Amino acid sequence: MKTFLLTVAACGLLLTGTAKEPLYRDPTAPLAERVDDLLSRMILREKLGQLSQPLYRSDDTTLDARITRGEVGSLVVAHGSALAPAERDRLQRIAVERSRLGIPVLFGFDVIHGYRTLFPIPLGIAASWNPELAEASARIAASEASACGIDLTFSPMVDVARDPRWGRISEGSGEDVLLNAVFGAALVRGYQGDDPSKQGRIGACVKHFVGYGAALGGRDYQFTELSERALRETYLPPFKACVDAGAVSVMSAFNDISGTPASANALTLDRILRKEWGFDGFVLSDWKAVTELQEHGIAADGAEAAVKALTAGVDMEMTSDLYLTTLEQSVREKRLPAALVDRAVRAVLRVKFRLGLFDRPFRSHPEPDRMLLTPEARRTARQLAAESMVLLKNDGVLPLSPDLRSITVTGEWAVSRDLYGWWVGMGDGRDAVTVWDGIRSQAGRRTDVRLMSQSRSRRSDVAVVCVGENGYLFGENNNRSDIRLPYGQEQLIRELKEQGNKVVVVVFNGRPLDLSAVVPYADALLIAWHPGTEAGNAVADLLFGKRSPSGRLPVSFPKSVGQLPLFYSDRTSGRPGNDRYVSMDGQPLFPFGYGLGYTTFEYSELRLSKSVAAPGEQVAAEITVTNTGGMKAKETVQLYLHDKAASFTRPARMLIDFRKVELAPGESRTVSFDVTPRQLAVLDAAFRPVVEAGEFEISAGGTPSELHSRILTLKR
Ligand code: NOJ
């Protein structure tokens, strides 16, 4: 009897419990039902609160009250400032326990190439041509960031960028569509995993949608003139790849696209992103991009800017507060349908549920420091940094012999800790291994290693000159009209050579540089980008031959700033080969895909499974690569396509696939690629992909000047 009564009482409690608990709080309920249930309980002001992402400021005395009132959907923690994990959880407690509906806040931060452990800048990551390693770096970044209470990162940046004057070229994967797509998707997978609500994962916000990298003259924020064909062929595919990889959020860009700013662009945000691609996460504006619609000149006041942005498909507003302050009235006055507000709120709530914020709002690790800079993180950072570096010239001085009598290490970057680039997350320069430390730790016991800080007269067997551009010469709005090495560094290199040294130049850069004045004086030239925490160890690994350099350029290095923009996948003109200037040709100093190592590779002829096929039929291309040198090394096999006659002009060459393989001396590997209808397709007049009959040149190899080609004929 007693047991029966207890059971009845327990059931009663349970029943009353469930009856009281709203559906949206039930973690077992379907996501769409949770969203609808919550939305039905919200008043307009709370809805607009969810669409607001103010800037977090530690001295903000109004924040607690605003969160309590439900006016803060998300917070952006600015570059260079910090939000302590305990403070993050305190704010979250206010949202969850004191606001009327208990909707958690989403905490966003720029985790661009690492949080505390810094990996190479994204352009360097792409130079590794190793997406698995890129994914691993993002997984580590997510685990560090999430341990410190971050839920969303404003990464990856997949803006195809073809003008190195633009400072933000450092933040993406360079000039190529496929590299941006592959690396973007790898980073999304690394941040989010299969399920972004899991411990150690964070959401990814892909940016900057879209065309931002085409800024006129490389001047940041400048307008872009992009046809729908250019958007669809070049600028959109990397975003599509990230959306397909599950990215929960997309950031709308600052730039104007042929007359309609990206943050009020219904074609890109609504028709393409939502309707064609089925994206159901939320779109976040870039920093004040909604208010800037006034400066763009398409909105007379803030209220109009807010209506235009929201209507086009910008769901959440970063740092400005026009949604919160103007949209209530716009809805009341019927200038904005309430259904559009609901559409945006749904998108934001969906992501909050997807990230598990309702079910696990307090996610900072109890001892976050234990999660940072782990040995695994450092190992991955070292490998990725080494694989990101690109050897552009080597007359045989590298790898350095352990028997060298003397090495002089010099140049500003020899002891510099400015090795992280523009976005540094919560990186601390004191964690970084300098080049000087890296070289000292690996030099042979008999080698005299000296740092030459002042005197330039010292002669040694080898001078390692560490030069570059600092983290404030690239990144947001750090555009350069001159892309040569700054601060008299060219002269230092020349002098060292003239003094009789063998000169190894190591460059720490955030963009392709014009190195024409350096190449003649460099016996070896290594592009190190800004390599992150393990910089010095990675440089030393390569200089002393612990690893063979395996990076390949993800972007062309020009001979002169006058050639810009310059990229390998030009459309064919009516006069091929005529792309020249009076004073020089139109070829780069070092082309896309180029990079040397310490061994040699030989390639077989390219074989196609069929040389004649029907459109839509699958074809395989395979090539055998052999390590004919004396050292184990990695090689990237690159596969290119040229469509010889199509309904629209096509690039002279475009990368359609690649594979990085590691081979021991004497070892061969046959690498097989599927040549898919998607790769062969051209967009028709209505921008639908179609595979047309005709001839296609397929080429493969390890270096752009030595590709092996075959013709594939498609016949109806
Ligand atoms: C502006 C930048 O354009 C964007 O990339 C960044 O994520 C936001 N600021 C937030 O810091």
Q: What is the mean pLDDT of each run of 10 residues along the chain (716 residues)?
A: 42 47 96 98 98 96 98 94 93 98 98 98 99 98 97 98 98 98 99 97 98 98 98 98 99 98 98 98 98 98 98 98 98 98 98 98 92 98 99 98 93 96 96 98 93 70 96 96 96 95 98 98 98 98 98 98 96 89 96 98 98 95 98 98 97 97 98 97 98 98 96 96
The reply to whether ligand 1 has any atom less than 6 angstroms from the CB of 292 is: no
Residue 163: active-site member = no
User: What is the whole-number distance in angstroms between the Cα of residue 262 and the centre of ligand 1?
Assistant: 15
Give the model's pLDDT for residue 8. Answer: 40
pLDDT digits (tens, 9 = 90+) for 657-666: 999 999 999 9
Sheet of 654-663: strand order equals 612-613, 708-714, 694-701, 633-643, 654-663
The reply to whether ligand 1 has any atom less than 6 angstroms from the CB of 207 is: yes
Closest CA to 282 of 192, 374, 353: 353
Give the model's pLDDT for residue 4. Answer: 42
Instruction: Specify the ligand 1 atom closest to the Cα of 155.
Output: 7
* Ligand 1 site-directed mutation target among 158, 207, 283, 287, most atoms within 8 Å of CB: 287
User: What is the whole-number distance in angstroms between the Cα of residue 110 and the centre of ligand 1?
Assistant: 7
Contact (CB, 8 A) for 529 and 513: no
User: What is the whole-number distance in angstroms between the Cα of residue 640 and the centre of ligand 1?
Assistant: 34
User: What is the whole-number distance in angstroms between the Cα of residue 155 and the centre of ligand 1?
Assistant: 9
Instruction: Specify the ligand 1 atom closest to the Cα of 205.
Output: 7
Task: Determine the residue type at 319.
Answer: T
DSSP 551: -
The reply to whether ligand 1 has any atom less than 6 angstroms from the CB of 458 is: no
User: What is the whole-number distance in angstroms between the Cα of residue 385 and the centre of ligand 1?
Assistant: 24
Give the residue whose CA is nearest to atom 1 of ligand 1: 287
625 contacts: CB under 8 Å, gap ≥ 6 = 601, 602, 603, 604, 635, 637, 661, 663, 668, 669, 671, 702
User: What is the whole-number distance in angstroms between the Cα of residue 201 and the centre of ligand 1?
Assistant: 21
Cis peptide before 164 (omega within 30 of 0): no
* Ligand 1 site-directed mutation target among 53, 191, 207, 250, most atoms within 8 Å of CB: 207
3-state helix, strand, coil in the chain (%, to 5): 35, 20, 45
User: What is the whole-number distance in angstroms between the Cα of residue 223 and the centre of ligand 1?
Assistant: 17
Give 594-634 as a 3 state SS string.
CCECCCCEEECCCEECCCEECCCCCEEEEEEEEECCCCCEE
Contact (CB, 8 A) for 645 and 695: yes
* Ligand 1 site-directed mutation target among 251, 252, 284, most atoms within 8 Å of CB: 251
417 contacts: CB under 8 Å, gap ≥ 6 = 429, 430, 432, 434
Instruction: Specify the ligand 1 atom closest to the Cα of 112.
Output: 7
User: What is the whole-number distance in angstroms between the Cα of residue 340 and the centre of ligand 1?
Assistant: 25
Taking residue 367's Cβ as centre, other Cβ atoms within 10 Å add up to: 9
The reply to whether ligand 1 has any atom less than 6 angstroms from the CB of 461 is: no
Give the model's pLDDT for residue 455. Answer: 52
The reply to whether ligand 1 has any atom less than 6 angstroms from the CB of 109 is: no
Instruction: Specify the ligand 1 atom closest to the Cα of 157.
Output: 5
Token pair, residue 467, equals 């030069």
**Distance between CA 260 and CA 441 in Å, rounded?**
55
**Distance between CA 678 and CA 241 in Å, rounded?**
13
The reply to whether ligand 1 has any atom less than 6 angstroms from the CB of 287 is: yes
Give the residue whose CA is nearest to atom 4 of ligand 1: 286
Give the model's pLDDT for residue 80. Answer: 81
User: What is the whole-number distance in angstroms between the Cα of residue 250 and the centre of ligand 1?
Assistant: 12
Give the model's pLDDT for residue 124. Answer: 98
Contact (CB, 8 A) for 329 and 306: no
**Distance between CA 529 and CA 389 in Å, rounded?**
7
Residue 425 vs residues 154, 401, 552: alpha-carbon distances, Å: 11, 37, 26
Give the residue whose CA is nearest to atom 9 of ligand 1: 287
The reply to whether ligand 1 has any atom less than 6 angstroms from the CB of 154 is: yes
Give the model's pLDDT for residue 12. Answer: 40
User: What is the whole-number distance in angstroms between the Cα of residue 198 and the centre of ligand 1?
Assistant: 26
Give the residue whose CA is nearest to atom 7 of ligand 1: 154
**Distance between CA 441 and CA 159 in Å, rounded?**
38
- Helix, strand or coil for residue 68? helix
The reply to whether ligand 1 has any atom less than 6 angstroms from the CB of 159 is: no
Instruction: Specify the ligand 1 atom closest to the Cα of 253.
Output: 3
The reply to whether ligand 1 has any atom less than 6 angstroms from the CB of 220 is: no
**Distance between CA 694 and CA 691 in Å, rounded?**
9
Taking residue 230's Cβ as centre, other Cβ atoms within 10 Å add up to: 17
pLDDT digits (tens, 9 = 90+) for 593-648: 999 999 999 999 999 999 999 999 999 999 999 999 999 999 999 999 999 999 99
The reply to whether ligand 1 has any atom less than 6 angstroms from the CB of 221 is: no
Token pair, residue 255, equals 């730039």
**H or E element at residue 506:** strand 502-508
* Ligand 1 site-directed mutation target among 57, 476, 477, 478, most atoms within 8 Å of CB: 476
* Ligand 1 site-directed mutation target among 56, 83, 107, 110, most atoms within 8 Å of CB: 110
Give the model's pLDDT for residue 81. Answer: 84
List 110, 163, 286, 431, catalytic entry: 286
User: What is the whole-number distance in angstroms between the Cα of residue 286 and the centre of ligand 1?
Assistant: 6
Per DSSP bridges, beta strands 524-527 and 390-394 are antiparallel
Give the residue whose CA is nearest to atom 3 of ligand 1: 286
DSSP 510: S
Closest CA to 603 of 557, 698, 670, 659: 670
The reply to whether ligand 1 has any atom less than 6 angstroms from the CB of 110 is: yes
Give the model's pLDDT for residue 407. Answer: 95
**Distance between CA 381 and CA 538 in Å, rounded?**
9
pTM of structure: 0.96
The reply to whether ligand 1 has any atom less than 6 angstroms from the CB of 79 is: yes
Contact (CB, 8 A) for 127 and 384: no
Give the model's pLDDT for residue 458. Answer: 67
User: What is the whole-number distance in angstroms between the Cα of residue 702 and the centre of ligand 1?
Assistant: 36
H helix runs in 71-176, sequence order: 85-93, 122-127, 131-147
Residues present in the chain in total: 716
